[in-house]
Amino acid sequence: MCGRYQLASGINQLMLMFNAQNRYIGYGAQNEIFPTNLVAIVTKEGNQNFIEASKWGFDNHYDSRPLINARGETVDEKKTFKNMFTQGRCIIPATAFFEWRKNPDGSKTKMQIKVRDAEIFGMAGLYRAEQAADNSTILRCAIITTSANPAMQSIHERMPVILSSEAKDVWLDNTIGDIPMLKDFLKPYSGDLEFAVV
């Protein structure tokens, strides 16, 4: 899973990285992002990418905890995420994510995981617009996860889907509905990761 992550870059870096205009008024870098926080996502309308504000997590009618992750293996089948997979794909930018390594004595060590060759990387996400209690419109999002790559396996069995640079434009284009091709992006990251105890 992915329950915490970091986005420590400035808005200009994000706009340049994702060739996007900014619609997130009040954006600020965040060293640790928690579920239900307001986060930056990248969406596409026509030929233009945008940085938007979105609440991380969907209301969960079966549990008090929000739905913050969607399993890549079944994302096109689950009722909650099925329509978003074909009509509401987004990218969730990050500079790191966090996971807790289980130690032999039963304790846990918090680990920070970064992509070695990318200061900012894009996680595969889903989003939709919802009506808030005050009748305003709010975006909500979730991160898609997959099985851990070999480097992550000693820490956790799951990890966020980190999109390759080649996949980003296709993933953002919600006019593309080729499910087998889209699901082929939802694989463990094949590049190098950096790990640090925090």
Written as one string, the DSSP assignment of 48-86 is EEEEEEEEE-B--TTSSS-B-EEETTTTTTSTTTHHHHH
pLDDT score for 53: 98
Convert 111-135 to b/e letters by CB count within 10 Å (16 or more is b): bbbbbeeeebbbbbbbbbeeeeeee
Domain 4-197 sits in CATH at 3.90.1680.10
Please count the other Cβ atoms lying within 10 Å of the Cβ belonging to residue 72.
22
More confident residue, 1 or 119: 119
More confident residue, 44 or 132: 44
Q: How far, in Å, CA of 21 to CA of 50, rounded?
A: 5
pLDDT score for 62: 78
C-alpha of 39 from chain center: 10
- Judged against a pLDDT cut of 90, whether residue 78 lies above it is answered with yes
Kindly report, residue by residue over 29-60, the tens digit of the pLDDT: 999 999 999 999 999 999 999 999 999 999 88
Confidence of residue 134 (pLDDT cuts 50, 70, 90): confident
pTM here is 0.96
**Looking at residues 75-88, what average pLDDT do you find?**
96
pLDDT score for 132: 80
Kindly report, residue by residue over 141-162, the tens digit of the pLDDT: 999 999 999 999 999 999 999 9
- Judged against a pLDDT cut of 80, whether residue 105 lies above it is answered with yes
Q: Is 80 exposed, middle or buried (0-12, 13-18, 19+ CB in 10 A)?
A: middle
Q: How far, in Å, CA of 143 to CA of 3, rounded?
A: 9
**Looking at residues 22-33, what average pLDDT do you find?**
97
Confidence of residue 133 (pLDDT cuts 50, 70, 90): confident
Closest CA to 56 of 19, 97, 17: 97
pLDDT score for 45: 96
* Sequential DSSP letters for 32-44: EE-TTSEEEEEEE
Token pair, residue 159, equals 């990890």
Question: CB within 8 A of 123, min separation 6: which ones?
Answer: 2, 5, 91, 92, 93, 94, 97, 143, 144, 160, 161, 162, 163
Q: How far, in Å, CA of 197 to CA of 166, rounded?
A: 31
- Judged against a pLDDT cut of 90, whether residue 2 lies above it is answered with no
pLDDT score for 64: 82
